[in-house]
Amino acid sequence: MSVYLYTGGERIVGKSGVGQAIAHQRGALRAVGLPPDARMDRGTQVVHINTVLPDSPVMAMLARMRRKKVVYYAHSTMEDFRCSFRGSNLLAPLFKQWIRFCYRRGDVILTPTAYSQEILQGYGLKKPIYHISNGIDTEFFRPSRERRAAFREAYGLSDGERVVISVGHLMERKGILDYIELARQMPETRFFWFGYTDPKLIPTPVQQAIDGAPENLTFAGFVDQAALRDAYCGADAFAFLSHEETEGIVVLEALACGTPTLLRDIPVYDGWLGAGRDVYMSDGVEGFEQTLAGMLDGTLPDLTEQGRAVARSRSLAAVGERLREIYQSEGLMDTRKSKLAWARKIYSRT
């Protein structure tokens, strides 16, 4: 079995969840003994495509012309495109038509959750659609007292200071407006938002809300994975108030680090996250404030161990096994071709 992860456009999406998903696929394949090819060659059997940039459907068609099977990852839907960047609501119907065109270039379509699978089935796509988590590196993202101390030292926080974080692009869909108001309602708590969006793409109402944010809210910008891990470990709670997701890799990161997690109660979490079991869920600023206060002062039960168990169930190794199952069920694994490709590689080195 030989898999090639197409990396066209990776520089563009590298700081987004799609970029992380590509990195996780590499790790998942390696975890089950299927290290991805550096390029598409004669021995490649399956090509993974993760973006909907103009080059991606071209690559999919080229791969199929060369008799490779194409696995197209459906990370995006029209629903999660809305309320994102400037003009996104106007462009959403056109975006839906474009992603349908892209996804139809695949032999198999993969999407992170049963929720996003149901949305895609409503788009009239005729190809097989499976849901498979983006996964999480549970060796990298895990609780650490040292990382907690490093985060608090970096931002000048005392050990007893209550800290809440969120992560994502600066967009309405990610819940930034409610997050800003939540910080305003809880002035004794420090709030941080990690993530960056080009100001040219930020709608005016969102930019105005950011400009008028309270002093206890820090916009920390984009940070690398190590610094983000420190933030999860150093925070007392993770509040992710997104209105729409196809999964939410940052949720898995927080859970893996043992960060108490508050989410907006939206359908994407149905079936894999339980409110009051693995995480807390609420809606509206008043509801978020009441729940978060209970999480911070300890009047609500600690759910972090259950949350970590969810993250472990979506580890890279678990995702790799799920990928292998899908390859097998769709007939993508041709062991005869795989052995021939292996023999060619060995022969070329002699």
**pTM for this predicted structure:** 0.92
Name the token pair of 290.
């009441």
Local confidence band at 296 (pLDDT 50, 70, 90 cut-offs): very high
Predicted confidence at residue 334, as pLDDT, reads: 64
Mean pLDDT of the chain, nearest integer:
93
Q: What is the pLDDT of residues 215-237, one digit of tens each?
A: 999 999 999 999 999 999 999 99
> What tokens appear for 218 in the block?
């820090």
Cβ proximity of 202 and 177 under 8 Å: no
What are 48-103's pLDDT values in tens digits? 999 999 999 999 999 999 999 999 999 999 999 998 999 999 999 999 999 999 99
Asked whether the predicted pLDDT for residue 180 surpasses 70, the reply is yes
Where are the extended beta strands (E) located within 160-248?
163-167, 190-194, 217-221, 237-240
Q: Is residue 168 pLDDT above 50, yes or no?
A: yes
Residue 101 neighbours by CB distance under 10 Å: 11
Q: Average pLDDT of 139-151?
A: 97
Q: 97-128 pLDDT, tens per residue?
A: 999 999 999 999 999 999 999 999 999 999 99
Q: Please determine, for residue 340, whether its predicted confidence score (pLDDT) is greater than 70.
A: no
SS3 label, residue 218: strand
Residue with tokens 């969810």: 310
Residue with more model confidence, 350 or 41: 41
